[in-house]
C-alpha cells in the first residue's frame, strides 16, 4: 500500500516553519505499514495544489493526505484545487455546514461568510469532524486513491488523524506490522560498510537497511521490515548482529596492522 503527503503553504516554501506535519504523518503512515513514496510541498496557489493532487492520483497512490488550506481565508484553496483536479463542482455540504453551525453556536461565534466558506466541499466529498477547530477535514475517493484533506494547524491535524483516519487505515493494512531497530556503529567509516551492507541486503531483501552519518555521534545503522511480530524482530536482530560482528572484525584487523 502506497501513500503520499501533500503539504500546502507558502510559509513552508519560504522556510519560515518546519514541515513537522509531514514528518509526523510520514511516521504514522510508515508505522501503519504504508510505503510513503513522496512528500510534495507546494504553494497556496490553486493551480499548484491541483497539480500536486493530479500527479499523486496519476501515480495510483493508495492514500494521499494533504495538510493546510482548509481555513476561512481567501488563500485557503485546497478544496477548490481538489475539485478542479477531480473535475467536480464545489458546493455547500450539508453535514459540514451542520458541524460548523454547531461549533459556532457552542463557542458563541458569528456564522459569517468566511466561516460558511469552510462548508464548501467538492460534491461527493465526505466531511470529517474537526474536534479542536472549525474547518472540517475532507475525505474523497477517486479510482484507486483515497484522499484525506486535513487542516494545517498541527494540533487539529493530529487529533483528526488519530481519531478518524488511523482506525480506517489500520483496517486497510491489518496484516502488516512495522518493526525497526537502530544501532550505533563505532570506530568505522561509512565507506568500509559497503561489503557488509551488500551482504545483508542480499540475504534479507525485505529488510530496509541504511546507514547515516551523524557528526560527532558516528554512524547510525537503521533497519526496518514488515511482517509478523516475532519473525520481523528476529530478522532485524540477525541483520544488526551481522553488521556488528563485521565492525568488530574490522577493528581487530586494524589493531593487528
Residues that bind a second copy (CB under 8 A): 10-20, 22-30, 36-44, 48, 71-75, 109, 112-115, 134, 153, 155, 189-194, 197-198, 201, 208, 210-213, 215, 222, 224
Q: Cβ of residue 98: shortest distance to a second copy, in angstroms? A: 18
- Closest separation between CB of residue 10 and a second copy, Å? 6
> Considering the complex, what minimum distance in angstroms separates the CB of residue 231 from a second copy?
20
Task: Give whichever of 88 and 176 is closer to a second copy, judged by the CB atom.
Answer: 176
Residue 124 Cβ vs a second copy, minimum distance, rounded to whole Å: 26
Nearest to a second copy of 75, 244 (CB atom): 75
C-beta of 24 vs 204, nearer to a second copy:
24
Cβ count near 24 (within 10 Å): 16
Cβ 63 vs Cβ 73: under 8 Å: no
DSSP-based helix, strand, coil % in the chain, nearest 5: 45, 25, 30
- The backbone region for 33, taken as left when phi is positive above 0, alpha when psi lies in -120 to 50, beta otherwise, is left
Cell numbers for 233:
524482530
Query: To the nearest whole angstrom, how small is the minimum distance from the Cβ of residue 44 to a second copy?
Result: 8
Helix axis angle for 78-86 and 46-58, nearest 10°, is: 50
Minimum CB distance to a second copy smaller for 57 or for 140: 57
Beta strands 208-214 and 90-92 are: unpaired
Please say whether the beta carbons of 25 and 65 come within 8 A.
Answer: yes
Spatial contact of 148 and 116, defined as CB atoms under 8 Å apart: no
**Is 147 or 200 the residue whose CB approaches a second copy more closely?**
200
Amino acid at each position: 500500500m502506497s501513500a503520499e503527503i501533500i503539504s500546502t503553504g507558502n510559509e513552508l516554501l519560504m522556510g519560515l516553519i518546519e514541515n513537522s506535519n509531514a514528518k509526523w504523518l510520514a511516521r504514522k503512515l510508515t508505522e501503519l505499514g504504508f510505503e510513503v513514496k513522496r512528500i510534495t510541498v507546494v504553494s497556496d496557489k490553486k493551480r499548484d495544489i491541483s497539480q500536486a493532487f493530479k500527479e499523486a492520483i496519476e501515480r495510483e497512490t493508495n492514500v494521499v493526505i494533504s495538510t493546510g488550506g482548509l481555513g476561512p481565508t481567501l488563500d485557503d484553496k485546497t478544496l477548490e484545487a481538489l475539485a478542479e483536479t477531480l473535475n467536480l463542482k464545489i458546493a455547500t455540504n450539508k453535514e459540514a455546514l451542520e458541524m460548523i453551525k454547531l461549533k459556532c453556536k457552542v463557542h458563541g461565534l458569528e456564522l459569517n461568510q468566511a466561516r460558511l466558506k469552510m462548508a464548501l466541499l467538492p460534491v461527493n466529498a465526505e466531511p470529517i469532524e474537526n474536534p479542536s477547530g472549525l474547518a472540517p477535514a475532507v475525505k474523497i475517493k477517486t479510482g484507486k486513491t483515497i484522499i484525506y484533506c486535513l487542516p494545517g494547524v498541527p494540533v487539529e491535524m493530529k487529533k483528526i488523524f488519530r481519531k478518524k483516519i488511523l482506525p480506517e487505515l489500520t483496517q486497510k493494512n491489518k496484516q502488516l506490522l512495522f518493526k525497526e531497530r537502530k544501532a550505533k556503529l563505532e570506530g568505522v567509516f561509512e565507506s568500509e560498510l559497503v561489503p557488509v551492507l551488500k551482504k545483508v541486503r542480499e540475504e534479507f531483501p525485505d529488510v530496509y537497511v541504511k546507514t547515516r552519518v551523524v557528526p560527532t555521534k558516528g554512524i547510525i545503522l537503521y533497519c526496518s521490515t514488515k511482517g509478523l511480530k516475532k519473525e520481523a524482530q528476529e530478522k532485524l536482530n540477525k541483520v544488526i548482529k551481522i553488521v556488528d560482528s563485521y565492525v568488530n572484525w574490522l577493528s581487530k584487523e586494524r589493531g593487528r596492522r
